[in-house]
A and B are shown apart, each in its own frame.
Chain A
Amino acid sequence: MSRIDGPVDDALLKLGRHLRRGQVGEDLRTLHQIGGRRGDVFYRDRWSHDKVVRSTHGVNCTGSCSWKVYVKDGIITWEAQQTDYPSVGGDRPEYEPRGCPRGAAFSWYTYSPTRVRFPYARGVLVEMYREAKARLGDPVAAWAEITSDPDKRRRYQSIRGKGGLVRVTWEEAAEIVAAAHVHTIKTYGPDRVAGFSPIPAMSMASHAVGARFISMIGGTMLSFYDWYADLPVASPQVFGDQTDVPESADWWDAAYLMLWGSNVPVTRTPDAHYMAEARYRGQKVVVMAPDYNDAAKFADEWLAPHPGTDGALAMAMGHVILKEFFVERETPHFVDYVKRFTDLPFLVRLREHDGGGYVPGKFLTAADLGEEGEEAAFKTVLLDRRTGEPVVPGGSLGFRYSEEGQGRWNLDLGDVDPTLTLIDEEEAVPVSLPRFDPAAEAEDGGGVLHRGVPVRRVGGHLVTTVFDLLLAQYGVGRDGMPGQWPAGYDDPAVPYTPAWQEKITSVPAAAAARIAREFARNAEESKGRSMIILGAGTNHWFHSDTMYRAFLALVTLTGCQGVNGGGWAHYVGQEKCRPITGWAQLAFGLDWKRPPRQMIGTAYFYLHTDQWRYDAHTADVVASPLGSGVFNGKTSVDLLSQSARMGWMPSYPTFNRNSLDLADEAEASGREAGPYIAEQVQAGELGFACEDPDAPENWPRVLTVWRANLLGSSAKGNEYFLRHLLGTDSSVRAEELGPDQRPKDVTWREEGPRGKLDLLLSLDFRMTSTTLFSDIVLPAATWYEKHDLSSTDMHPFVHAFTPAIDPPWQTRTDFAAFHAIAKAFSTLARTHLGVRKDLVAAPLLHDTPDELANPHGLVRDWRETGQTPVPGRTFPKVVVVERDYGAIAEQMAALGPLADRLGATTKGITFDVEAEVERLRRINGTVHGGVAEGRPSLATDVQMCETILALSGTTNGHLAAQGFATLARRTGTDMSGLADEHRQITFADTQARPVPVITSPEWSGSETDGRRYSAFTINLEHRKPWHTLTGRQHFYLDHDWMQEAGETMPVYRPPLNTAALVDAAAGAGDGVAVRYLTPHSKWSIHSEYQDNLLMLTLSRGGPTIWMSPADAARAGISDNDWVEAVNRNGVVVARAVVSHRMPDGTVYMYHAQERVVDVPKSETSGRRGGIHNSLTRLLLKPTHLIGGYAQLSFAFNYLGPTGHQRDEITVIRRRSQEVDY
């Protein structure tokens, strides 16, 4: 028997043995007690609860996790994850237990001291309102007086964000809000009203109810996906699709995985396990990240390119793949794929360039070969290898809408074998190609490369293939090709070799080449199971579209796109509202009025926060040295207005007059509204509001923010918002443009307006920067207090929110709040507005024949040509809509007649929903009396959810089947078997358990038979074209502006401000100049949870900036010191986190740390430190404004300028450690 301790201890223990119950071991060190466990009761009590309610979190992440909410004595106690997801089949990890620490900390908010319990309003405003209303006897008149009196305006606007909120009743709050809306519509027009609420997928009914109200009164809903810079513009450019990606369980299928700028453990916490586990299947993982991040921990290899230079690495990898897998050895799988599914075999006309030689021009089309008919210009041409003759294969845009295209819009090639390269032709000519890498200027020929391509003449046109152009672009030489080619991989001078990228990225050339080779070899062996997960680290840059096109080239060349386990996996933003058709029908009030007003958010805020007044970044900065100069001397705002007047992008407020009055005027003229308005504009009688955005009649007047924290999170150029949109104090430090820098087509007013908005209304359950600056704050129910629906791109389920408790205090669901507002509005509107006609100007839309408006992507600006603008061709479409303003509340609460009369359309497929409407009459009941007599009821949130599910193919198998039948008529291919289930998912189903969705033509992949979702599998397997010009995935974009920007093909463009970084470093004084990045945080989902005590306790308790030891040393900063980050846009005060996992020269301020928690006053400004976005400012990329041409046509959240924020620099210095709040 082994003994412990010594004899004295033993003696003590032996004594103790007699004093205890239970059995003591022979070594005297174990004691086993039986019974007598009253002392344990505490924990049993603590664990006991009354009920568990299933719900989820409506936060802007992509989790959509199912949670158990525990309730005891009517109080929410805590939450834990549900683990009962339907099985994925047993051969791969299941979804359980999705969740993350942020979600697990959510219930803290329910009873927290930051919970908004009552309606609040700005005290000064309320006093003025009450006084005016008492005097004038009318809410609308009262609002009109306050907002038109400059002194009164100033009094409440200038104290926005500075405290002074008072409690008001719901009735009074709703009345003021209603009065503001009515007055604005009456005086300035409905498009001066706007709503901002992002990511419908995170709580569909809560989004839809507000968007429905805004849309039905003629207000403007602002886009978010592009505004958040989450939209990868390359996706519409290459795929003609917004974004479609694999669910996380499909990572499992990948045999090679690159995580590029995506920190999966942090940003996709519930999904990360698939990556960790797939490694055990032998998946190789490579992480590209500038810092040693959470994902790098899982990698086999970690490559750390300098921030924003990822495009260079991707281009070099493309170089290696083209050389080794296409030129040195033809890889059959790859060649076959690119011939059938990409534009690489299509012919491009070469154009002689003024500077000599040739440049790539437009796609050769059937029209160029003499075919008649409007669509001929949209039928692209390739050469048949068997005959050497040009062929017009089906599937291009010319077959999508035309009569003769019926049954031919498909990817069938028949016997045709497309010619990929003209290398066997005798002739080759040099083409000039732009380069933008930093060395370009220093090299011979400046920013232009001259490289040969093989050519031949077809129909009198000198042509080559996209593939041949691509080889030239990537610098992959072939025998006999004239021009400058790299000597080898180790040639550092010429794009795009591995050695060339090493100079830019710091990634060793050998590593770049080897990873590219491995990636492609894996794709070859696995038939396409190589995947790239992409994240905000690569997507939030000014030139992210060029980066992305370089990434997409890697997965497309290797035949990975459209294959389970392969392709791109872009995870930035929760864009996938799976029951999209039903949601869109309700959210935009399409069942009552069409079209709705939908605006590109970035342009809206760029204009109306007056960031354009500071933007010296002219459009010619992006121009190619080979461009024709159409951007010369133009500012971004000039191009924005050009885009608007040509009908490319939407523009709201649209005209400089009230659209209700314009409708009356047009009617009075006795002419068709469209031509009348076009003529008025051409004659200068009527102007576009965006051409004079600072004129008071063109300001946005009322903005409602719900399910969002604009001013604490997404507002790039935050300080400009405060100064110009809100009219309160700000820390803007930049100077406005000098006289020679100002726009040509947009009116410059000497005084930039302060305080454009009359009313900022927000609905939230917690105090944020947005609520602090709002004039009225309405108390919202949390996600544990309402009914709603959730879905995500990361998993294939749709499931429900269910209230665990009723909304406490005076909180209300968004549904109840907007219905209260609508009722108050309708009451006032009945007399003040009545029934009015509203003239809506709508842009040329994607997935409609509008995208045929501009053949060859030629710019036809009527103002420059002097031609009469044609609505729907060279001018926005003009539509007159009738609005019964007194009946808005009634209409909101019922499904309107246009649903069954016109159907519901998604991505060009129109669903006939007559039968579903009839079914909804039975399920929801019908409305009795009023304007909605006999229509299905939408009076409750549950009815709204039920309707969303009933009107979408993903949740209604009848519609899915119908949609595929419709699609098959157009494609002529077999779509059977995709949606044979005819399953109908009800709201009750989604409450019981997450329900797998149904394969539907609303999306491009298939879940049929329990298959994991991957994008574009339907395209590959059912030969359905992509929604692009050629109907294939595009490497080449021939629009005039793409040529002007030098971005017809994948190309490397460096981050902006690289030169400014050097300047700032020189003048940094006692600070250090660094690149400033705002990646997504481990402790919050955007701003949500960054104020949560649990998350603050697990991190550093307030705003921090991460920096490298060397940068810290340069500025004399120690870990946890207070620091200030200052640049032209504003000031941030935070504490430093010094870590060697950070690269030198770059700091991170994790997104989105706002000003509500532990932000002291700044030494620099004397004012409260700002949010992470106080240091950023918007810049528009002109190519994002293209419209009216094939896949480069507008759709909401599909195409538009992005609000990128990564190309910024700042100076950081140590400040006094004594801080003052």
Chain B
Amino acid sequence: MTRVMAQLAMVMNLDKCIGCHTCSVTCKQAWTNRAGMEYVWFNNVETRPGQGYPRTYQDQEKWKGGWELGRNGRLRLKAGGRLRKLLTIFANPLMPSINDYYEPWTYDYDRLFSAPVSEDTPVARPRSLITGEPTKIRWSANWDDNLAGAPELAPADPVLRKVSGEVKLEFERAFMFYLPRICEHCLNPSCVASCPSGAMYKRSEDGIVLVDQDRCRGWRMCVTGCPYKKVYFNHRTGKAEKCTFCYPRVEVGIPTVCAETCVGRLRYIGLILYDADRVAEAASVKDEKALLEAQKSVMLDPHDPEVIAAARESGIPEDWLEAAKRSPIHKLIFEYGVALPLHPEYRTMPMVWYIPPLSPVVDVLTNTGHDGEKAGNLFGAIDALRIPIGYLAEIFSAGDPEPVRAVLRRLAAMRSYMRDVNLGRDRDESIAAEVGMTGETIEEMYRLLAIAAYNERY
């Protein structure tokens, strides 16, 4: 008997992300603009290629976040099991320092009013919020935004290092995209498993992963355990804090702050039903490239009568079942097959998924008289897009280019198919067939990706 659980999940369509950071600011303003949390952004946006926040967090050889398979084929925390945790509880070296995030600062704004008559114009100089001393700013919450400093800094991007052979950081081949990140609210959360105090938990009704502020003892093993580095330490209270999926909001039926305020309209929130008992098994699949399918296999079809029956048995209320059927998340992952998880190879079964971005074709193709309007050429162009597929694959499919290519082909097909509709030409079913879809499905997907209003996105 399947044990069905409900999970709140999010999909972000990176193809629409404008990198504006509104999500970061509204989240920060609502949740973390307070003492001890100055450096904390539950939601942040990274320019890729880039080092990320905290710096190089994706380098699990260094930070040891997430899970790995032991020689016995069993999952274990990459940073070591419980025993090792106990032994290193007072001196955990696998944790980003404040410099890996950034040293928060403010300015002597008061000088602008208080300066007496002087030789020169008053100025507010920066001052560290850690030491209180004047400082030269060397890193920030988003230092390498828009490829800032990329020639010096991007080579340290752990993802770029894996595909460095394909990528040159030069003007003619420049590419970038934005990666907004919140807590993944994983099905198999390594932060929860890392907590020696039992303070972290995954809510039964909606899968939101939380820190019990009363029980947290500030060991910070969760910080190490999370491969996404989305659990933070509050220096004032000595407790861990993290993205709460805005539970005080979602509990009353409004979306998370980051989703509601996303002006790119690229975030979708919905319910997913999954088989809780198959999580560990799926996370233990040997081949990293098979993890994507394994995770999908844990997620259940909300239209399947057996699933519905089992869900009822598991105590999931009727309106939640309805929500699961309407879930844009389920549609994007399964019906349209365009969303992919973030680093499935961490084996945490993340529940914030992404639609990878299209990008301009490289000039080489432009010069050959390439006609971007022709559907056939669009497909051909997928491998000539500026963002190397290999780079995307290292982020969304454990290095396997095929799932990424398949998504990009579907997006391209949608554009090509819809162009005919837009211009009043006959609909060309062959375009849809080429990517394993029907025209009808493409038009439904188009509606969800392009038009979906507030009520359809969440």
Contacts and interface: CB of A to CB of B under 8 A. Distances in A.
B246 to A, nearest CB: 8
Interface of A: 1-6, 8-9, 12-13, 16, 19-20, 22-23, 25-27, 29-34, 36-40, 42-44, 46-48, 77-81, 83, 87, 90-94, 96-101, 103-105, 107-108, 112-114, 120, 123-124, 159, 161-165, 255, 265-266, 269-270, 272-273, 276-284, 287, 292-294, 296-302, 304, 508, 510-511, 514, 518, 525-526, 729, 767, 769, 772, 1082, 1091, 1093-1094, 1096-1102, 1106, 1108-1109, 1118-1120, 1137-1144, 1155-1161, 1167-1168, 1219, 1221
A1157 B16 contact: no
A279 B253 CA distance: 31
A276 B265 CA distance: 10
A1139 B24 contact: no
Contacts of B411: 280
Given A40-B247, A163-B116, A297-B357, 10 more contacts: A100-B22, A273-B16, A282-B416, A282-B423, A297-B176, A300-B372, A511-B366, A518-B373, A1119-B151, A1141-B150
Contacts of A123: 117
Interface of B: 15-16, 18-22, 24-26, 28-31, 33, 67, 70, 72, 74-77, 81-83, 86, 102, 104-107, 109-110, 112-113, 115-126, 136-138, 140-143, 145-153, 169-171, 174-177, 188, 192-193, 198-199, 201-204, 210-216, 244, 246-249, 257, 260-265, 276-277, 279-281, 284, 357, 359-361, 363, 366-367, 369, 371-373, 411, 414-423, 446, 449-451, 453-454
B170 A1140 contact: yes
Given A93-B451, A1101-B105, A1140 B263 contact: no
A1102 B29 contact: no
Top 4 closest A-B pairs, CB basis? A282-B419, A163-B115, A4-B75, A39-B212
Contacts, number: 401
B140 A1098 contact: yes
A714 B221 CA distance: 52
Nearest to A117: B113
B455 to A, nearest CB: 10
Contact of B193 (A23, A29, A299, A1137): A29
Given A5-B81, A26-B277, A99-B261, A1137 B149 contact: yes
B446 A281 contact: yes
Contacts of B261: 80-81, 97, 99, 104
A270 B263 contact: yes
Given A6-B76, A283-B422, A1098 B145 contact: yes
Contact of B260 (A12, A39, A81): A81
Contacts of B122: 162-163, 772, 1156
B83 A105 contact: no
Nearest to A265: B18
B348 to A, nearest CB: 11
Residue in A282, A1096, A1138 whose Cβ sees the most chain B Cβ within 10 Å = A282
Given A80-B257, A280-B418, A282-B422, A98 B210 contact: no
B146 A1141 contact: yes
Contacts of B422: 255, 281-283, 526
A27 B109 contact: no
Given A83-B260, A162-B117, A1140 B147 contact: yes
5 contacts: A8-B81, A38-B214, A273-B18, A1109-B151, A1139-B148
Nearest to B387: A297
Nearest to B192: A31
Q: In this complex, which of B76, B213, B263, B371 has the most chain A Cβ atoms within 10 angstroms of its Cβ?
A: B263
B15 A276 contact: yes
A2 B281 contact: yes
B109 A114 contact: yes
B149 A1138 contact: yes
A1161 to B, nearest CB: 7
Contacts of A1157: 107, 123-124
Nearest to A19: B198
B124 A1091 contact: yes
Given A83-B454, A255-B419, A1119-B149, A97 B262 contact: yes
Contact of B22 (A48, A159, A269, A276): A269
A154 to B, nearest CB: 14
Contacts of B372: 284, 300-301
A8 B449 CA distance: 48
A1158 B453 contact: no
Given A100-B263, A510-B367, A1098-B24, A302 B74 contact: no
B119 A302 contact: no
Given A47-B248, A164-B116, A265-B18, A281 B82 contact: no
A1139 B284 contact: no
A107 B29 CA distance: 9
Contact of B415 (A96, A282, A1101): A282
Contacts of A1167: 120
A606 to B, nearest CB: 24
B124 to A, nearest CB: 5
Contacts of A22: 201
Given A44-B248, A93-B451, A163-B117, A301 B263 contact: no
A19 B215 CA distance: 13
B152 A94 contact: no
A526 B423 contact: yes
Contacts of A44: 248
A499 to B, nearest CB: 14
B436 to A, nearest CB: 18
A1159 B146 CA distance: 23
A1157 B126 CA distance: 8
A737 to B, nearest CB: 29
A272 B24 CA distance: 18
Contacts of A282: 415-423
A280 B450 contact: yes
A1106 B70 CA distance: 47
A674 B52 CA distance: 70
B74 A6 contact: yes
B446 A43 contact: no
B49 to A, nearest CB: 11
Given A124-B117, A281-B419, A1158 B123 contact: yes
Contacts of B214: 38-39
B125 A1158 contact: yes
A29 B373 CA distance: 51
B104 A1097 contact: yes
Nearest to A253: B422
B151 A1140 contact: yes
Contacts of A279: 415
Given A20-B198, A80-B260, A39 B360 contact: no
Given A292-B174, A1093-B106, A1099 B140 contact: yes
